[in-house]
Structure 1
Amino acid sequence: MNLYSPKRVAELLGNFGIHPKKSFGQNFLVDQNIIKKIIATAELKNHDKVVEIGPGLGTMTVQMAEVSKKVIAIELDNRLIPILEKNLERYDNTDIIIGDALKVDFNNIIKNEDEKQLKVVANLPYYITTPLVMKLARERQPIDRMVLMVQKEVAERFTAIPGSKNYGAISVILDFYFKAQLAFDVPNNVFYPKPKVSSSVVNLKKRDEPKIPVQDEQVFINFINKSFSSRRKTFVNNIVSIYEGSKSELIEFLAQTNVAKDARAEELSTEKFGEIFETIYNNLKVR
């Protein structure tokens, strides 16, 4: 079945009475060269086990099944399952799980998988991207790498550096858990239907340990989110409500880490956030 032609994909969906759902962010990847670049970015080998989120028609699933030991495909849209099953019927190294990736128990799915061999590859719709990445990062799932197709503006936030306009809480949190790289940009004519926005592929390689040691990861993540809660405010004014004590005391503690009272969160590196957090955590109680 030719899944690399927008015309054929449109016909196939029509035969099943399926119209792509905007609510699911369904833009099916129909370019074989882009799929090969994604697989190359993931560095898939014949011993790898892959979790694919949103396989759609199985266009990329088939290619990954050819080069991987196992592919676990998680699909939310029940309408696509007959097509997906048909396209994967020749492969005994694929499993299809029907469900919402935001609600699926990944521990149950991957409990028997080798930590250093499990990778996540996906063409993600906008609405699921950040919450899913945060879920997988914060739950500390045994995932070695994630290669994700996302909206270009999201990719720029994921990989932004301190001082840039796209640098924010998600940039710091991902840097805490992963080595994040922008792999390549993707034109919108490789999808059916064509999205109105540009896309990019990001490569998130999991760190063996978080980039910096912190005493409480959950509190640290909350601290990062609070730090960027309002870009119009200074860093101090964003975080003062989190901790007991006065603003003047907080400014004194920040001075110990050479952070000026008028500094803004977007100026601070992950390492500096860690240093600040540990200094404050050791001296002020979290509310």
Structure 2
Amino acid sequence: MDPCNIHEIKDVLGRHGFHFSKAKGQNFLIQSWVPERIAREAGVEADCGVLEVGPGVGPLTDQLTRRAGKVLAVEVDTRLRPVLAETLGRRDNLEILFGDILKQDIPALVRDRFPNLRPKACANLPYYITSDILAALLEARCFESVTVMVQKEVAERICAAPGAADYGAFSVFCQYHAQPEILFDVPPSCFLPQPKVTSSVLHLKVRSEPPAEVTDEAFFFRVVRASFAQRRKTLVNGLGALGIPKAQLIAAVAACGLPENVRGETLSIPQFAALAARLAR
């Protein structure tokens, strides 16, 4: 059956007594051009192994299995087990794992399922847990790329440049790990049920090396988070949350060639890296 045919999808969901869960942020794709374009622009080919998070009723899974050497789809909602059995059937290059992706050892999954394939990740992410899942995929450091559909404003925030109103700690995190690019927008009419906002498909090409040398990543990201925690404050005042004496903060900011009244949202990743290195001395 066609996992994007709205009439067939409503029928199979109804027969299995499935009701959409607001708590799980479920919005299923019903326009075939969207998953087809996602799979194509993600660069999925026969030598790729794809981890898909949240297959839903399987529209993206269908397209991925047509292109990839193997697809591992991880679905948290066990109510979809009989639905996926109908929409996708048995496919030699597909494995469906029912569980929470945030409780999985992602690098181990990739090593085990895709030993001789180029690993990629694709997902239509629930809005309420987008950041957590995307962070887990990037921190796994085992994918060539991560291609996800997210709320448009989230995609714009991830891609924001220093000084932009929506540039924040998550922008720095994502850009530290990858090179993000918005591929295209997806209107609410492409989903069942329709969300209230526009979505964007975001492609993140994972970096082989960070854009700046960082010796202590945990401390680096502490500095980044503190810098954005109170956006109206100067960088020096925001960094006070680290428990470092103010005189030391002022000296470190000056040593990096930054004015004392600089705000954290104007710093680039290399500037954050230089500042963190100074503060760690």
TM-score, length-normalised on structure 1? 0.93
1:127 CA drift (Å): 1.7
1:243 CA drift (Å): 4.4
Give the counterpart letter for 2:228 in structure 1: F
Where in structure 2 are the equivalents of 1:173-192 lying within 5 Å? Answer: 173-192=173-192
- Report the counterpart of residue 153 of structure 2 in structure 1: 153
What SS class does the counterpart of residue 181 from structure 2 fall into? strand
Q: Is the 8 A contact 1:6 1:191 kept in 2?
A: no
Distance 1:227 1:116 in 2: 40
Extract unaligned runs of 5+ from structure 2: none
Q: Is the 8 A contact 1:227 1:239 kept in 2?
A: yes
- Report the counterpart of residue 117 of structure 1 in structure 2: 118
Q: Is the 8 A contact 1:115 1:143 kept in 2?
A: no
Extract unaligned runs of 5+ from structure 1: 283-287
1:205 equivalenced with 2:205 (yes/no): yes
Q: Is the 8 A contact 2:121 2:147 kept in 1?
A: yes
Distance 2:118 2:152 in 1: 28
- Report the counterpart of residue 71 of structure 2 in structure 1: 71
1:37 CA drift (Å): 1.3
Distance 1:125 1:155 in 2: 13
Q: Is the 8 A contact 2:47 2:117 kept in 1?
A: no
What SS class does the counterpart of residue 20 from structure 1 fall into? coil
What SS class does the counterpart of residue 154 from structure 1 fall into? helix
1:90 CA drift (Å): 3.7
1:135 equivalenced with 2:98 (yes/no): no
The more displaced of 115-124 and 173-182 is 115-124
Cα distance, 1:115–1:215 mapped onto 2, change above 3 Å: farther
Where in structure 2 are the equivalents of 1:27-46 lying within 5 Å? Answer: 27-46=27-46
- Report the counterpart of residue 241 of structure 2 in structure 1: 241
Q: Is the 8 A contact 2:52 2:73 kept in 1?
A: yes
- Report the counterpart of residue 56 of structure 2 in structure 1: 56
1:155 CA drift (Å): 0.6
Cα distance, 1:182–1:38 mapped onto 2, change above 3 Å: same
Q: Is the 8 A contact 2:137 2:146 kept in 1?
A: no
Give the counterpart letter for 1:127 in structure 2: Y
Distance 1:63 1:157 in 2: 28
Q: Is the 8 A contact 1:116 1:142 kept in 2?
A: no
Distance 1:231 1:268 in 2: 12
CA offsets per residue over residues 133-166 of structure 1, 9 Å max, x none? Answer: 222223x331111000001111111111111111
RMSD, matched Cα: 1.5
1:88 CA drift (Å): 2.9
- Report the counterpart of residue 267 of structure 1 in structure 2: 266
Q: Is the 8 A contact 1:6 1:30 kept in 2?
A: yes
1:249 CA drift (Å): 2.5
Distance 2:225 2:202 in 1: 22
Cα distance, 1:277–1:148 mapped onto 2, change above 3 Å: same
Distance 1:229 1:56 in 2: 35
Identity of aligned residues (%): 38
Q: Is the 8 A contact 1:51 1:71 kept in 2?
A: yes
1:107 CA drift (Å): 2.8
TM-score, length-normalised on structure 2? 0.95
1:254 equivalenced with 2:253 (yes/no): yes
1:16 CA drift (Å): 1.1
CA offsets per residue over residues 14-54 of structure 1, 9 Å max, x none? Answer: 11111111111100011111111101221111110000000
- Report the counterpart of residue 88 of structure 1 in structure 2: 88
1:279 CA drift (Å): 1.8
